[in-house]
Amino acid sequence: MDAGVPAQLMRREMAAATSGAGRCRLSKVGAVRRPPPARVRVAVRLRPFVDGTSGANDTPCVRGLDSYSLEIANWRNHQETLKYQFDAFYGERSSQQDIYAGSVQPILRHLLEGQNASVLAYGPTGAGKTHTMLGSPEQPGVIPRALMDLLQLTREEGAEGRPWSLSVTMSYLEIYQEKVLDLLNPASGDLVIREDCRGNILIPGLTQKPITSFADFEQHFLPASRNRTVGATRLNQRSSRSHAVLLVKVDQRERLAPFRQREGKLYLIDLAGSEDNRRTGNKGLRLKESGAINSSLFVLGKVVDALNQGLPRVPYRDSKLTRLLQDSLGGSAHSILIANIAPERCFYLDTVSALNFAARSKEVINRPFTNESLQLHVLAPVKLSQKELVGPSEAKRARGPEEEEIGNHEPPAPPASASQKFSPLQKLSSMDPAMLERLLSLDRLLGSRGTQGTPLLSTPKRERMVLMKTVEEKDLEIERLKMKQKELEAKVRAQETLDPKEKENCSPTMLRPLARRTVTVAKPLKKAVVIPLQLIQEQAASPNANIHILKKKSRKRKLECLDATKPKEEAEDCWELQISPELLAHGRQKILDILNEGSARDLRSLQRIGQKKAQLIVGWRELHGPFSQVEDLEHVKVMSGKQLESFLKANILGLAAGQHCSPS
């Protein structure tokens, strides 16, 4: 049975590409241009026989056909073989250099482009995953070789005179029984895995160590490797009991405008091998560790199947391992899967399972893109003097008369020329000296190159425009703060200034009322005084008498009776206020003065005049001029004639009695 037919693989790859198109995050790269697809590349490595694992005459169950394909015996039918075809196949005699140069080294260049890459070592326990990733001092593995070449690349690309400056940092962690542990700082405890707004996977609190040479890498990596959890089983004396992940970040910053930033991540992952507890003899803690390893690898298989089938939900969150590998499988990384298999017949089922997983992983489609951001150059804070902060007018007022006389003798500054007025470097005098020196050096460089340096001409100009815009924004911010300060000072002065009436009624110990707050003062109570009749008559006889007497006046009213034709009249006593004509005229004139000159508040002090009527009177007065007589209120349609009569009577009585009427 042929398991690697090229036509069938092509159909699967096309189907995966169409299904993966819907799973791509458009928010990372924009909705206009989508990144090109990149299939997960799979390499298979067959380790040689290990002494003591099988008999001397045992034949291998796997055989390589060429550098891309292999075959394995079919356990269902011994007369048939299962054939697999991958991107690369490394036989028993392949070296560490062959695997690194053939599969891993080509993806390192993507890190300098701001893209992510990952290398995964997969396979059963005892198949040689850790040896492939770490190796030995005589035969270094993928991790030391990749770090050595990557550091060399960053030194070359970040040399003086190159457009980019590069820095490299490393982090090392393990996933042990669904716990994320920092191997560089074991005391940090269990860490959490998060996802930022752009969909990038990150681990807050994970230690990052900067490295500039391979010696720095060894100084951090070798002690951290001894912190990894290992244990002895029947199949391996130093079996990995956790998944180890080495994260290397390459940060790039552009030296010239527009000051772009790039970040590339390299994941070097040594997965723990799947275990058959019947052969490993695991018990107790080893059995618990084996269960956690097999569970995470099972979820990893489910993720691959979901990606190949185009399911709407991919179970990344079902395991810490798959959550961390979200970028590597179906994400935005150039991924390499190195499947390690064993030739012994006792590993037959594990080998078939690993090859099937590798064949399914080859159909997963990733979409790498450049992690690039544009950040304006941050300027140093400008320190302004007190004269520049308060402005020229306020600074002139703050100076004394002697200083002002001295300042007047200074000769006026000559007017700036047109070239100085529009010079981009004129407003940069108050900036950071280092940045100013850098701009001047760029200006000299352009002057020396002349018209030959065409690629560099646009860059300093853009840099100057950015700096000019930043300075203008700072100037506008200072002006805005000045205006705000003036407004606050005006508000404080308004609060300090009170009306004279409010000052009289407020004691010194009372709190000052807030602005725009109406303070009402209690009026003294009015008292009725009973005067003897003789005294009233004497005062009334005097020429300047201003006494108003209540007299009893009889008034007849008709009473209803049984006979409606003969109404019955009965006298009724009532009291009536008699007012002198002079006082009546004086009251009408006072009311007229209030109507013509009073504010809305004064109008509300009159009886039967409320807020709406007061506003109506003020508006009519502004349109038609002052009132000639009180009866003009009928034209304003504030009140009718009958209501006007009661209005005059009530207010004249109040004014005559010296009362201050409250609003109705």
Give residue-wise pLDDT tens across range 214-227: 999 999 999 999 98
d(CA 357, CA 338): 11
Least confident of 167-171, 433-437, 529-533, 609-613: 529-533
Q: Which residues pair with 118 in a beta bridge?
A: 267, 335
pLDDT at position 537 is: 55
pLDDT at position 579 is: 60
Q: Residue 408 above 60 pLDDT?
A: no
Alpha-carbon torsion, ordered 549, 554, 560, 566, to 10 deg: -160
Q: Is there a contact between 10 and 90 (Cβ–Cβ < 8 Å)? A: no
Say if residue 549 is exposed, middle or buried (CB neighbours under 10 Å; 0-12, 13-18, 19+).
Answer: middle
The answer to whether 641 is a known ligand-binding residue is no
CA 126 to chain CA centroid, Å, is 47
Q: Is there a contact between 341 and 45 (Cβ–Cβ < 8 Å)? A: yes
Which range of 166-180, 432-446, 569-583, 592-606 scores highest in mean pLDDT? It is 166-180
pLDDT at position 376 is: 54
d(CA 196, CA 202): 7
Tokens of 103: 């599969």
Picking from 111, 130, 107, 110, the residue whose alpha carbon sits closest to that of residue 119 is 107
Q: Is there a contact between 372 and 261 (Cβ–Cβ < 8 Å)? A: yes
How many other CB atoms are there within 10 angstroms of residue 631's CB atom? 13
Q: Residue 455 above 50 pLDDT?
A: no
The answer to whether 126 is a known ligand-binding residue is yes
Q: Is there a contact between 644 and 630 (Cβ–Cβ < 8 Å)? A: yes
Q: Is there a contact between 558 and 569 (Cβ–Cβ < 8 Å)? A: yes
The answer to whether 264 is a known ligand-binding residue is no
- Tokens 């026989």, residue? 49
Q: Is there a contact between 244 and 218 (Cβ–Cβ < 8 Å)? A: no
The answer to whether 161 is a known ligand-binding residue is no
pLDDT at position 475 is: 86
Instruction: Give phi and psi for 314, each to the nearest 5.
Output: -105, 125
The answer to whether 125 is a known ligand-binding residue is yes
The answer to whether 387 is a known ligand-binding residue is no
pLDDT at position 119 is: 96
pLDDT at position 354 is: 93
d(CA 643, CA 658): 22
Can you tell me the mean pLDDT for 486-500? Answer: 78
CA angle 236, 319, 105 (to 5 degrees): 65
Which range of 243-252, 399-408, 544-553 scores highest in mean pLDDT? It is 243-252
Counting every residue written for the chain, the total comes to: 664
Q: What does the DSSP assignment read for 76-97?
A: S-TT-EEEEE-SEEE-TT--HH
Q: Residue 547 above 60 pLDDT?
A: no
SS3 of 278, please? Answer: helix
d(CA 273, CA 353): 12
Host H or E run for residue 504: helix 500-505
The model's pLDDT over 152-162, given as tens digits with 9 standing for 90+, comes to 999 998 888 88
d(CA 544, CA 103): 123
Q: What is the CA radius of gyration of the chain?
A: 48
The answer to whether 129 is a known ligand-binding residue is yes
- Helix-strand-coil percent breakdown of the chain, rounded to 5? 45, 20, 40
Can you tell me the mean pLDDT for 59-76? Answer: 88
Band of residue 658 on the pLDDT scale cut at 50, 70, 90: low
Can you tell me the mean pLDDT for 552-575? Answer: 48
The answer to whether 224 is a known ligand-binding residue is no
Can you tell me the mean pLDDT for 403-428? Answer: 45
pLDDT at position 627 is: 82
Percent of the residues in the chain that have a pLDDT greater than 70, as a whole number: 66
Q: H helices then E strands: how many in the chain? A: 24, 22
Can you tell me the mean pLDDT for 67-78? Answer: 87
pLDDT at position 431 is: 62
pLDDT at position 407 is: 44
Q: Which amino acid is at 63?
A: R
Band of residue 538 on the pLDDT scale cut at 50, 70, 90: low
Picking from 250, 269, 371, 275, the residue whose alpha carbon sits closest to that of residue 324 is 269
582-657 in CATH: which number? 1.10.150.280
Least confident of 87-101, 282-296, 396-410, 649-663: 396-410
Band of residue 172 on the pLDDT scale cut at 50, 70, 90: very high
> Where do the domains of the chain lie?
38-374, 582-657
pLDDT at position 162 is: 86
Least confident of 185-194, 286-295, 404-413: 404-413
pLDDT at position 345 is: 86
Can you tell me the mean pLDDT for 421-450? Answer: 61
CATH class of 38-374: alpha beta
Tokens of 394: 């306020």
